[in-house]
Amino acid sequence: MAVTTARKPKPAKAHTFAWEGIDRRGNRVKGDLRAPSVDLVRADLRRQGVAPTKVRKKAPPLFGTGERRITSQDLTVFSRQLATMMSAGVPLVQAFEIIGRGHESPAMQTLLLAIKQDIESGTAMAAALRKYPRYFDALVCNLVAAGESAGVLDVLLDKVASYKEKTESLKGKIKKAMFYPAAVILVAIVVTVVILLFVIPQFKALFSSFGADLPAFTLVVIALSDLLWEYWWALVLAIGGVAWGIGRLSTGSQRFRALIDRLVLKLPIIGTILRKAAVARFARTLATVFAAGVPLVEALDSVAGATGNSVYGQAVQQMREDVATGQSLQHTMRQSHLFPHMVIQMTAIGEESGALDDMLAKAADFYEEEVDNAVDSMSSLLEPLIMVVIGGLVGALVVAMYLPIFKLAAVV
C-alpha cells in the first residue's frame, strides 16, 4: 500500500497595497502595506485602530521588482534597533511592530512582520528566526535561544548587535582591500584596449605610406590591434564565459571554492590581510558565542561557517571533532597550522584562567586593528603602483608607435 505524504502549502505571495482610512481621532490617513490579500490588509489596519475606506493593489513597476533586497547591513541595523528597544523595556512583539512598520525596505517590513506574527502566536523568537536561515544563521539563532532560556534576551541581543556591527566593519575593510587590486587591473585593461582600438589604427595608416620595414615591437602591437578589432566579440564571450563558469563553480562546488580560498591566502599582501581577517572573525565569533553560555563544541560548530574562508572553516570543523574527544582548544589550534602563535598562547591562557571569551575578544580586537592598518598601508602603496602600471603600459605602446618615426628620422 503506497504511503502518500501531504505537501506543505506554499506561503502566499505578499503584494503591496495602497490604503486610505480614518484613524481613531477622525483624521484621514493613508499609506502602503504588504500582505497576501486585501482582507488581511483590512484586518491589520483595524487592529491598528484605522477604519479602511479604500484598499487597492499597487501595480508592479515596469522594470524589475522595484524592491531593494535585504542586505546584511539591514540586518545589522535591525539587530541594534531591537537590542536598544529591549534594553529600554519595550515588549518584544511591540519592538518588532515598531521596527517593521518604520523600515524603508518593503522586503524587510514583510520579514519582520512575519516574524512578529509567529511570536504573537506563541513561537519562541529563536524558532521564528530559524524559519529564515537565509537571513539569520545558526550562530544568531543559538545566541537568541540561549538568551531566551536564561531570561537575559536583552543582554544576548546586545551581544548579537555588537557582533554583527564588528563583522560588517571587518567585511567592509576586506572589500576595500580587494577593490584596489581590481581597480588597478581594470583601469590598465581599459586604457590598453582604448589605445589598441582607436590610437594604433591611426598610426598604422601613417606607417603604410612609409614603404619601409617596421620594427618587430611595432609589428607586434599592430598585430594585437588587428586581432582585437577582428575578434573583439570572441574576447567578450570568453571573458563572460569564464566569469559565469567561475561563479557557477564557486556556488556549486565546494572543492573549487576551497581551491580558490587556498590560492587567495597565498597571494602577497592580500593573502596576509585575508588570513588576519579570518583569525579576527574566528576569535570574535567564538568569544561571542562562548560568552553566551554555549558549550565549546557547539560553539565551534557555529564558528566554522563564520570565518569567511573555507580553509579556516574546514580547520575549525576538525578542531571541533578533536575538542569533542577531550583535546584542548589551544592544542587543536596549533595542529591546524593556521593560527598565529599569539592567538594560540592567548587561548591557552584563557583556558587555564577560565576567561577564554575575554582573551579571544582581545585577540579579535588586535587582529581587526591589524586588518585596518594593513588595508590603509596597501592603499597608500597601490596609489603610486597604479601610476606605474598604467604609465608603463601606455609608455610601451607609445614607444612602439614612435620607433618607426625615429628610424625614419635616422635614415634621413
CA atoms within 13 A on the CB side of 59: 3
In this prediction, residue 4 has a pLDDT band, given cuts at 50, 70 and 90, of: very low
Q: What is the mean pLDDT of residues 302-306?
A: 77
Please give the full DSSP string across 89-120, using - where no structure is assigned: T--HHHHHHHHHHH-S-HHHHHHHHHHHHHHH
Q: Tell me the per-residue pLDDT of 58-77, one tens digit each, with 9 for 90 and over.
A: 765 544 444 567 888 888 88
Residue 112 confidence (pLDDT): 87
In this prediction, residue 345 has a pLDDT band, given cuts at 50, 70 and 90, of: very high
Residue 289 confidence (pLDDT): 83
- The answer, as to whether pTM is greater than 0.75, is no
Residue 3 confidence (pLDDT): 44
Give CA–CA dist 194/210, Å, rounded.
Answer: 25
Question: Quick check: 179 pLDDT over 60?
Answer: yes
Question: Quick check: 9 pLDDT over 70?
Answer: no
In this prediction, residue 5 has a pLDDT band, given cuts at 50, 70 and 90, of: very low
Helix, strand, coil share of the chain (percent; to 5): 75, 5, 20
For residue 118, the Cα-to-chain-centroid distance in whole angstroms is 28
